[in-house]
Structure 1
Amino acid sequence: MRRPEQRVDVTRVRRRSRTSEATALESVRRELGVEDRDTAAIKDSEKDIGMLNWAADGFAVHPHHGVGPQP
């Protein structure tokens, strides 16, 4: 049986201590019992490489400063 999708806002976890996003997510992943292979991260900055490496599926996107048609 497949478990329902769960999403966690890591910014709430990080406020509790001075830890990296990857470390915070690892703690949450273990607490929720999520398998390593079921993790993903979508980030838009070079400083996010640690989190992209942490996730089983890491996706880097180009940052945009607005939503709408692009020239």
Structure 2
Amino acid sequence: MDRPALWRAGWRKSSRSKASSNCVEVAGLRSGIGIRDSKSPDGPVLAVAPAEWAVFVNAVKVGEHDLD
């Protein structure tokens, strides 16, 4: 994906992150879901298929990735 398309993407981060810039941001892209580090908006973007993102989100919701 070209850089201008990434810049225009609607990047979001959790409201729980407050004003911190140490966050993961996500955006809906034509090719799937983009994931990036908020400290490096011009850095690399990990793109995953929508189905893969859904599996990950569901796993988080049921506690499979708790850091306890």
TM-score, scaled to structure 1: 0.28
Q: Which has the larger radius of gyration?
A: 1
Q: Which has the higher contact order (CA 8 A, sep 6+)?
A: 1
Give the TM-score normalised by the residue count of structure 2: 0.29
